[in-house]
């Protein structure tokens, strides 16, 4: 597993190149967005906002005109890219630098929606647990957590492709951006969360798990 400083260095270098991952991410976003029920959300948070691609899409097409967006990313380059990309929504957008946990702890409660796409799969399991617990604290009761990660997959084709990724990860986590396939839904304790939607999506040879969980 890459350390937080190695992850930061990787994404600082990668910058806008992250958008090439749209080849498999977009299919998962297409699965995620309708299940977020975001049409009336007033406040959305995101961990690991990357270049701001998902945030722009939601602000432009899905969210009410007065909804606020807050995002955090560990990479200075990504914070700059998201800030630039979301300039048209000035006054409604806050993007901060950090590893997620500390910044989440500083947030007030009352968010309608939180997002974490292709970022929990970079974190050790104990950090995922802390992030999920902090997101639960900041969401309103009934608020929604939309998460996507690389998946182990279902069926022979998906399992084969995620097996190839896992081997590549074991040989060199750097080569696959530090991401490993996860069993994402297992990180949501059913006594705190209602699993509203769960789907595995295969696109461009990459299996992703989409989870939409509602805070009880």
Question: Where along the sequence are the contacts to ligand SAM (CB under 6 A)?
Answer: 7, 11, 18, 21, 25, 47-50, 53-54, 72-75, 78, 99-100, 117-119, 122, 177
- Least separation in angstroms between CB 75 and ligand SAM: 4
- Least separation in angstroms between CB 140 and ligand SAM: 22
Q: Which residue is nearest to ligand SAM (CB)?
A: 50
Buried (b) or exposed (e) across 105-142, using 16+ Cβ within 10 A? eebeeebbbbbbbbbbbbbeeeebebbbebbbebbeee
User: Which one, 100 or 143, has the nearer CB to ligand SAM?
Assistant: 100
The CA distance from 24 to 134, in Å, is 28
Contacts of 53 (CB under 8 A, 6+ apart): 19, 22, 25, 85
Contact 109, 140 (CB under 8 A): yes
User: Which one, 143 or 177, has the nearer CB to ligand SAM?
Assistant: 177
User: Which one, 60 or 190, has the nearer CB to ligand SAM?
Assistant: 60
User: Which one, 155 or 177, has the nearer CB to ligand SAM?
Assistant: 177
- Least separation in angstroms between CB 29 and ligand SAM: 8
The CA distance from 72 to 158, in Å, is 31
User: Which one, 65 or 126, has the nearer CB to ligand SAM?
Assistant: 126
Q: Which helix (H) or strand (E) holds 206?
A: strand 206-215
- Least separation in angstroms between CB 190 and ligand SAM: 25
């Amino acid at each position: 597993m890459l350390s937080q400083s190695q992850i930061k260095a990787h994404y600082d270098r990668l910058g806008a190149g992250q958008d090439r991952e749209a080849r498999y991410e977009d299919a998962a976003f297409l699965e995620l967005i309708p299940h977020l029920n975001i049409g009336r959300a007033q406040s959305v948070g995101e961990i690991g906002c990357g270049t701001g691609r998902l945030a722009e899409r939601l602000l432009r097409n899905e969210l009410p005109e007065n909804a606020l967006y807050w995002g955090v990313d560990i990479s200075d380059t990504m914070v700059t890219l998201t800030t630039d990309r979301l300039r048209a929504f000035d006054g409604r957008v806050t993007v901060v630098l950090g590893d997620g946990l500390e910044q989440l702890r500083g947030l007030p409660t009352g968010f309608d929606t939180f997002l974490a796409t292709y970022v929990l799969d970079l974190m050790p399991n104990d950090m995922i647990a802390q992030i999920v617990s902090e997101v639960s604290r900041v969401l309103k009761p009934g608020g929604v957590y939309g998460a996507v990660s690389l998946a182990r997959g279902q069926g022979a084709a998906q399992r084969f492709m995620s097996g190839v990724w896992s081997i590549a990860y074991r040989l060199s986590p750097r080569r696959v951006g530090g991401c490993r396939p996860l069993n994402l839904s297992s990180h949501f304790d059913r006594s705190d969360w209602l699993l509203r939607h769960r789907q595995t999506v295969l696109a461009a040879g990459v299996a992703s798990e989409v989870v939409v969980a509602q805070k009880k």
